[in-house]
Amino acid sequence: MKVIGHFINGAEREDSGRTQDVFNPATGEVSSQVALAAKSTVEEAVAAAEQAFPAWRATPPMKRARIMFRFKELLEQNSDAVCRAIGSEHGKILHDAAGELQRGIENVEYACGAPELLKGEYSKDVGPGIDSWSEFQPLGVVAGITPFNFPAMVPLWMFPMALVCGNTFVLKPSERDPSASMLMAALLKEAGLPDGVFNVVNGDKEAVDTLLNDSRVKAVSFVGSTPIAEYIYATASANGKRCQALGGAKNHAIVMPDADMDNVVNSLLGAAFGSCGERCMALSVAVAVGDQVADQLVEKLKDAMGSLKVGIYEEQSNDFGPTITREHQARVIGHIDSAEDQGARVVVDGRHLTVPGYEQGFFVGATLIDGVTAEMDSYKAEIFGPVLQVVRAGSMEEAMKLINDHEYGNGTCIYTRDGEAARYFSDGIQVGMVGINIPLPVPVAYHSFGGWKRSLFGDLHAYGPDGVRFYTKRKTVTQRWPSSAVRENAEFSMPTMK
């Protein structure tokens, strides 16, 4: 059976150590094995990145950007292979994988503007004959640790920007769907990236902990679940590294009485069930303001959900695919059981779905649960499956309080025709990414992505302008060229502009 190894110093590397199964989640079969890097392998990758750093740092940003332009072309030319790698290991349908890849490519496009982004700041005459400027220098070796749910897009949030800023990179992708990262590593090489500048180590906790504890790694970008994000942030920070760690989510949509209900239903279907609900921006809670709105919403959703198609990634007419693993399938079903046990009403039940011909797949059907309350375990948890829960609120204030009290603050949305209500909502809601009649308000590549509360640990958001700041350190130079005729006396008071 094929063993997916690592990509270190410009070449694929086999590994004779520990391995883990990679599944095709639609069939339930093992499709390959992925190597789980030992400490020494990770250290080798860090050493390659460290060695490549001085020359890469000295490469003009325009030249780095040209490699990114070529990489973008290659991603587009090879999109079918990348999307198939995503579909076969993650299970998402090809049209959805193509959307993921396109959102990733947009980050490459933004990174192509590196010469402009790195221009710095300049002030002439901050004092007599004195000029001052701030420049943005690379950090050195930086690491990215990424989740299973966007095997191409989330790495692309990180490494294009890190590389054009002059850093070298070690990526530790999710061990559940590692192939997209390996393909991208090969395409970067083909684009002309020097060996050692970008490396991939596959692995689990051992690989991650090695990166966190290696003093040669200057910064860590992480995306994944909240408990791990918190651990990564605490450990990396304690080790003196810069860290941004994006965690889990529970994204609510408020449905106001004046919303266009047919639009709401269409919009919620995609946002709740697309990618099997395995998106950190999935809308998993609809908060209906008023019982009348809730009754109407539930009825319309129930009807519309009857026509959703669940199945394999190759079939483009499918709406979504399986969950990632059998354990995750069981966890999602467990959340539905618990909501029911705690008094909620399962209106559409996806627990017993089987897809003909794929009976061993890790499928869960689209599920709608009404009468969910803030005390229920299924409300508190991030389910990360195709489950939409409806909470009934008496007022908009009550709906907003529910969102503000939740431990996560990644994304949210309000459906309304009332501009004043929308403005009040966007101003007061304690969430990092807000949609107004937009269900998945994922910022475009030239803004930055990040949640609030326990959805992000760190200061700077991912990609966009925050990405430039995260992957560079500011140096401020103040300069004077005194003429030999002028000699100054020693000055013991704090220098000021006189």
- Enzyme catalytic residues: 280
**Pairwise CA distance, residues 464 & 245, whole Å:** 16
User: Considering the rule CB under 6 A, would residue 235 count as an interface residue with ligand NAD?
Assistant: no
Residue 320 pairs in a beta bridge with 310
Give the residue with the Cβ less far from ligand NAD, 140 or 411: 411
User: Considering the rule CB under 6 A, would residue 379 count as an interface residue with ligand NAD?
Assistant: no
User: Considering the rule CB under 6 A, would residue 406 count as an interface residue with ligand NAD?
Assistant: no
Contact residue for ligand NAD among 158, 280, 297, 310 (CB under 6 A): 280
User: Considering the rule CB under 6 A, would residue 275 count as an interface residue with ligand NAD?
Assistant: no
Contact 327, 344 (CB under 8 A): no
Q: Which stretch binds ligand NAD (CB under 6 A): 244-252, 315-323, 372-380, 391-399?
A: 244-252
**Pairwise CA distance, residues 89 & 110, whole Å:** 28
Q: What is the 3-state secondary structure (H, E, C) of 377-400?
A: HHHHCCCCCCEEEEEEECCHHHHH
Contact 195, 10 (CB under 8 A): yes
User: Considering the rule CB under 6 A, would residue 224 count as an interface residue with ligand NAD?
Assistant: yes
Q: How far is the CB of 145 from ligand NAD (least distance, A)?
A: 5
User: Considering the rule CB under 6 A, would residue 169 count as an interface residue with ligand NAD?
Assistant: no
Contact residue for ligand NAD among 205, 401, 474, 475 (CB under 6 A): 205
Q: How far is the CB of 4 from ligand NAD (least distance, A)?
A: 14
Determine whether 487 is exposed, middle or buried from the number of CB atoms within 10 Å of its CB (0-12, 13-18, 19+). exposed
User: Considering the rule CB under 6 A, would residue 208 count as an interface residue with ligand NAD?
Assistant: yes
Give the residue with the Cβ less far from ligand NAD, 174 or 378: 174
Site string for ligand NAD, 331-370 (x = CB under 6 A): ----------------------------------------
Site string for ligand NAD, 472-491 (x = CB under 6 A): --------------------
- Touching ligand NAD, residues 283-342 (CB under 6 A): none
Contact residue for ligand NAD among 151, 451, 458, 467 (CB under 6 A): 451
CB atoms closer than 10 angstroms to residue 294: 20
Angle between the N-to-C axes of helices 153-164 and 61-77, in degrees from 0 to 180, rounded to the nearest 10: 160
Q: Which stretch binds ligand NAD (CB under 6 A): 42-50, 172-180, 267-275, 336-344?
A: 172-180
User: Considering the rule CB under 6 A, would residue 225 count as an interface residue with ligand NAD?
Assistant: yes
Contact residue for ligand NAD among 19, 24, 27, 174 (CB under 6 A): 174
Contact 168, 52 (CB under 8 A): yes
User: Considering the rule CB under 6 A, would residue 204 count as an interface residue with ligand NAD?
Assistant: yes
Q: How far is the CB of 372 from ligand NAD (least distance, A)?
A: 19
Question: For residue 246, what are its two tokens?
Answer: 């994006």
Q: How far is the CB of 496 from ligand NAD (least distance, A)?
A: 45
- Give the HSE-up count for residue 140: Cα atoms under 13 Å, Cβ half-sphere: 13
Q: How far is the CB of 235 from ligand NAD (least distance, A)?
A: 9
Contact residue for ligand NAD among 223, 245, 301, 433 (CB under 6 A): 223
CB atoms closer than 10 angstroms to residue 458: 22
In single-letter form, the type of residue at position 84 comes to R
Q: How far is the CB of 440 from ligand NAD (least distance, A)?
A: 12
Give the residue with the Cβ less far from ligand NAD, 205 or 474: 205
Contact residue for ligand NAD among 249, 265, 294, 402 (CB under 6 A): 249
CA dist list (Å): 322 to 28, 100, 278, 350: 10, 17, 10, 12
Q: How far is the CB of 47 from ligand NAD (least distance, A)?
A: 21
User: Considering the rule CB under 6 A, would residue 455 count as an interface residue with ligand NAD?
Assistant: yes
Q: How far is the CB of 205 from ligand NAD (least distance, A)?
A: 4
Task: Count the residues in the chain.
Answer: 498
User: Considering the rule CB under 6 A, would residue 246 count as an interface residue with ligand NAD?
Assistant: yes
Q: Which stretch binds ligand NAD (CB under 6 A): 53-61, 86-94, 201-209, 338-346?
A: 201-209
Q: How far is the CB of 14 from ligand NAD (least distance, A)?
A: 20
User: Considering the rule CB under 6 A, would residue 44 count as an interface residue with ligand NAD?
Assistant: no
User: Considering the rule CB under 6 A, would residue 175 count as an interface residue with ligand NAD?
Assistant: yes
- Touching ligand NAD, residues 10-39 (CB under 6 A): none
Q: Which stretch binds ligand NAD (CB under 6 A): 146-154, 314-322, 425-433, 483-491?
A: 146-154
Interaction site with ligand NAD (CB under 6 A): 145-150, 154, 172, 174-175, 204-205, 208, 223-225, 228, 246-249, 280, 382, 384, 410, 451, 455
